Structure 1
Amino acid sequence: MLNRRTLLAATAASGLAACGRSGPPPDLLRVATTGLPDSLDPARGEFAAAALVYKQIHAGLTEYAPDGSVGPGLAEDWSVDGSGLVWTFRLRERLMWSDGHPLTAEDVAWSARRIVDPTQSFAVLGDFYAVTNARAIHAGEMAPDRLGVTALDDRTVEFRLETPLGLLPTLMREFYPFPRHVIERVGLDWVRPEHIVTAGAYTVTAESQISLDLTRNPNHYAAGTVSIPAIRIDGVREDATRMRLFRAGDYDLADRPPANQIDYWRERLGTQFQSFDAPILRYLKINHARAPLDDVRVRRLLSRAIDRPFLAREFYADTAAPTELVIPGSVITDSEPAPQAGGMSRPLEIRTTTGEGERLAVAIADDWARFGIETELLVSYPTDLYQAVDAGDFDIAIASFNRGLKSDPFFMLDPFAPGGFAANFNWDDPTFAELMAAARRQNDPSARAQLYLAAMDRIHEDMAIIPLLHERAHWLVGPRVGGTRNDIQPMLWRDLELADA
């Protein structure tokens, strides 16, 4: 990724290039992101940066509709039987991989077997465990060919479940079939530019440590609606560097301006600075296995003592919404008394990383000090923080997650459910677990929404975590880029346009 050591070289190269041309390539969208995928293989990629690139080069059975909801993808329609245990997906006619090879239901079934095969996949299966035998296969106790996924014919694939999963079509937006005919020939090298074959709107033509080059896939099922011919993605790790290069005209699209410079960039860039409602939660992770944090009264006191409007105003220029709840837009219906001043039996340790997290930790420690609560700040690298939390070696940690375009309440609550990626703080609540399990089984959206609200109430009642803010997503969008919407982040580049493309 680009950092301080490569900034001068990148800026110099940009300046030389500018001297030799009158403007950017007319058919190229230039994107700067915080990082690049650790792998282009969805079965092996683990970095959050991978999800954004996967949306461009891979295709799911279902897709993100332009408004972020669930729409047809490789499958044109789907249905579930009366038991809720058998889902049938009907593929579009004449689907092809980017190399022109037919894409069939058997490719989908083979891909499902690969994603649960522990010798082939690093994927976190989550709700894919609902598929018959998936858990046993992933544990190495059963052969992958015993998975409950079958190609009924060239265009029809059936998923058999052990428990109902009403959200299956939503989850299928990020289940990406693999090109079996390539993987069986070259193995894990299938993601190298000289071998890679994809089904998404774009495919990869070049890769380096700091960039990816994408080209429009002429065999994509909706290729006629994809207007941008080529995309270059640069991984620019430092927020300030990324923003300066955008302002210099080196990029058409860039994500995440520095949180402490939102007002600065918003004022100088005007309409090129765009903010979006997003499923981003900033919260305090509490270790329930450590006294005095194992006492819900202590956790409530800590929560009530935090001045959330100050955090939103001072650190996010009021673009983040103060919250005590997990799901955006939710309202607290109970009434709690103001916290009572009083010391703890020992100082509380707050673990965080440098930058934004450290600034928040200092402000929160100051709030708590007013109520006689002593704190110690421990600032470390992200990997050290994650390892400490996973090992249970923490009191309180500044935490956050960004669910991208996944706006369904499920994706805000599921990280805290048993087995969730954020469920590493020694909280065990059977009622919450059962409510989440019931929501998964529910096919009716309104009934499922009520279960989610009840599950969220359990988090709040027990103060399992301490929510702080619902942040907004910020993107810098250059004047050449069209096709963006006011209500959804520009993460689906197949829907964008270039003024001179």
Structure 2
Amino acid sequence: MAIAGLPDSLDPAIGQLAASALVYKQIHGPLTDYGRDGGLAPGLAESWEASPDARTWTFRLREGLLWSDETPLTAEDVVWSARRIVDPASTFAAIGDFYAVRNAPEILRGEAGPETMGVRAIDDRRVEFQLTAPLGYFPLLMREFYPFPRHVIEAHGGAWVDPEHFVGCGPFTLTETGPLSLRLARNPRAWNPARIETVHIEAVEDAATRARLFRAGDYDIAEAPLATQIAMLTERLPYQVLPYEAPKLTYLKVNMGRALTGNADFRRALDLAIDRNFLAESLLAGTATPTRHIIPGLFYEDGSVRDNRLAARQLLVNAGLTGANAPRIQLRCLPGERERLAIAIADDWSQIGIDVEIFATPPADLYPAIDGGDYDVALAHFDRGLKSDPDFMIEPFTPGGFADNTFWFGQPGEADDEFARLIGEARATVDADLRTQAYRAAERVILEARPVIPFLRERAFWLVAERVTGLSAEIQPVLWRGFQLEGS
């Protein structure tokens, strides 16, 4: 396996990098799991149920669960692990997916002890979580919650993730670490043991180098080749370049706290003038899909993604934004490939009479500027990994979400209250189909208001050797437990 980088820690209570999540899926066992279609599936818990008000969730563990050292894995391990994650005395604590669990925020702030957290073991196989508000998608969050081996951590402290001490419950166990490599072995005591006996992981930061070494036969799987090389690689390795629809959204943030960008007609003109098809097909060489939506897979785009510059110009005329009043805005972005997108979008806007200054800055400067409101429009992007559910695509834009820096909430005359109401309704809904309907309704509100303007949904690409089998056609090859090698 060739991946872009290794985890910053093999302890899920400490690791923060995206590479950490990829490796965690192999060596740790989540409470619930991802199915082969990317949806919700049993993990360590074989079943779960909610109270009528969706404020209490009970998970039932599989019978006979074992850690890799043959120690029984019980509900008490799950409770201790949940408390450890939010306890600042134990780890680099973070609220993470436990934000709705009773007393978790107070524990994180040091205002309460970890024993007050709203989680308890009913018996050896049942764990109960008490929430402060209804949360219908709580089991989805538990796909990223990995219980820890308490007996090993108490014996070895932070060294529990060293190969000589490591104990886990995932399909693989850790056997060796190096400066740029990891070696895993099949864990026969896992409830879902892997089919491949060993996996050697190497960190190769440069995407072009990963692709070159894959072509040379050094790796069976390599992640994320360069977008500019996809066409060439597909031509030369037609059955080994695998594309996947992914929850990777590229969009514009619009600062609603400024007079010009707070004008609804001006925001609509910005939206209508973008040539999404050119960006997707020409600039990104077909590695992205044009879109006007946040939630993937629910809408038939067709002609709705076409630009309409005539209508955009008319909106500016109606708003009096022409001639001496022609608008001038600053478009912030990251340098490199994102700057290429910004230049193309600026050209679209210039054709309807908007003067655009592009300000390309590194992340250390860009993100604080956006959070502080020092921008007109900003080019933004997020990748939700395997989380394509509507919950995880819309939630970043909710109050307090990581993409809540458009200053939409609280602006007079805006529909942010209706958006917040629909989000609350969605969160409280246990039935997945009904919850999706509520999120779709919330999406319509935010898209009409345009504090964010989606324009591309980028695909994920992996290089996979033909001898690797057992992959799902629907999700990226990040769940290695089901893989097999042809002939082995």
Q: TM-score, normalised by structure 1?
A: 0.88
1:329-352 deviations in Å (ceiling 9; x for gaps): 325799998201655766322222
Which of 13, 16, 31 is the aligned partner of 1:61? 31
Structure 2 residue aligned with 1:115, among 81, 85, 88?
A: 85
Partner of 1:466 in structure 2? Answer: 453
1:494 lines up with 2:481 in the alignment = yes
Q: Give the residue type in structure 2 aligned to 1:339.
A: A
1:360 to 331, 338, 341: 341
What SS does structure 2 have at the residue aligned with 1:153?
coil
* Deviation >6 Å, runs of 4+: 332-337
Distance in 2 between residues matched to 1:190 and 1:346, nearest whole Å: 59
Q: Paired residue for 2:370, among 386, 389, 405?
A: 389
Amino acid at match of 1:112: A
Matching residue within 104, 108, 128 for 1:134: 104
Q: Following superposition of structure 1 onto structure 2, how do residues 438-457 of structure 1 map, counting pairs within 5 Å?
A: 438-457=425-444
Aligned-pair CA distance for 1:365 = 1.1
* Runs of 5+ unmatched residues, structure 2: 410-415
- 2:231 corresponds in structure 1 to 263
SS at structure 2 position matched to 1:262: helix
Cα gap change, 1:422 to 1:188, in 2 (>3 Å): farther
Which secondary structure does the structure 2 equivalent of 1:251 belong to? coil
Residue 274 (structure 2) aligns with: 306
State the match for 1:338 in structure 2.
311
- Displacement of 1:59 in angstroms is 0.9
The residue matched to 2:312 in structure 1 has which SS? coil
Deviation at 1:294, TM superposition (A): 2.1
- In structure 2, distance between residues paired with 1:135 and 1:402: 26
CA distance in 2, matches of 1:125, 1:345: 46
1:212 equivalent to 2:192? Answer no
User: Is 1:46–1:123's contact at 8 Å kept on the other side of the alignment?
Assistant: no
Structure 1 residue 379: Cα displacement: 2.3
Any residues of structure 2 matched to 1:16-31 within 5 Å, and which?
A: 31=1
Going from structure 1 to structure 2, the CA distance change for 1:365 and 1:427 (only over 3 Å counts) comes to same
Secondary structure of 1:279's aligned partner: strand
CA distances 1:196-245 after superposition (whole Å, capped 9, x unpaired): 2211111222223322222211221122xx21111122222222122111
Question: Greater CA deviation, 407-416 or 75-84?
Answer: 75-84
Deviations 1:295-344 (A, max 9, x none): 22222111111100000111332242211110123257999982016557
* Cα pair 1:66 1:495 within 8 Å, conserved: no
Asked whether 1:250 is paired with 2:218, we answer: yes
Q: Match for 2:344: what amino acid?
A: A
- RMSD between aligned alpha carbons? 2.2
Q: Is the 8 A contact 1:279 1:328 kept in 2?
A: yes
Are positions 1:239 and 2:207 aligned together? yes
Q: Which moved more, 1:363-372 or 1:478-487?
A: 478-487
Number of residue pairs the alignment of both structures matches: 469
Aligned sequence identity (%):
53
- Confirm or deny: 8 A CA contact 2:119 2:130 kept in the other structure: yes
1:85-484 pair list within 5 angstroms: 85-122=55-92, 124-125=94-95, 127-223=97-193, 226-329=194-297, 330-331=299-300, 338-340=311-313, 342=321, 347-428=328-409, 429-484=416-471
Tell me the distance in 1 between the aligned counterparts of 2:377 and 2:164.
Answer: 47
Unmatched segments (≥5 aa) in structure 1: 1-30
Q: Distance in 2 between matches of 1:39 and 1:433?
A: 36
- CA 1:153–1:102: 2 relative to 1, 3 Å: same
Report the residue type matching 1:32 in the other structure: A
SS in 1 for 2:122: strand
Deviation at residue 439 of structure 1 after TM alignment: 0.8
Q: What amino acid sits opposite 1:405 in the alignment? A: L
The structure-2 alpha-carbon separation of the partners of 1:209 and 1:387, relative to structure 1 and needing over 3 Å to count, comes to: farther
**Aligned-pair distance for 1:385?**
2.5
Give the C-alpha shift of residue 431 in structure 1.
2.3
The one-letter amino acid of 2:206's match is: E
2-side partners of 1:234 and 1:422: how far apart? 32
State the Cα distance separating 1:452 from its structure 2 match: 0.4
Report the CA distance shift for 1:427/1:236 in structure 2 as closer, same or farther (over 3 A): farther
Cα distance in 1 between the residues matched to 2:444 and 2:91? 35
Residue 424 of structure 1 deviates from its aligned partner by 2.5
Q: Report how far residue 112 of structure 1 moved.
A: 1.0
User: 1: distance between equivalents of 2:454 and 2:329?
Assistant: 18
Hey, what does 2:413 align to over in structure 1?
A: none
Name which of structure 1's ranges 278-287 and 393-402 shifts more when overlaid on structure 2.
Answer: 393-402
**Residue 43 (1) aligns with residue 13 (2):** yes
Letter in 2 for 1:435: L
Q: Is the 8 A contact 2:210 2:222 kept in 1?
A: yes
Equivalents in 2 of 1:123, 1:351: separation in Å? 32
Residue identity matched to 2:331: I
Contact 2:87 2:93 in 1 (8 A): no
Instruction: Please give the alpha-carbon distance, in whole angstroms, between the structure 2 residues aligned to 1:432 and 1:236.
Output: 43
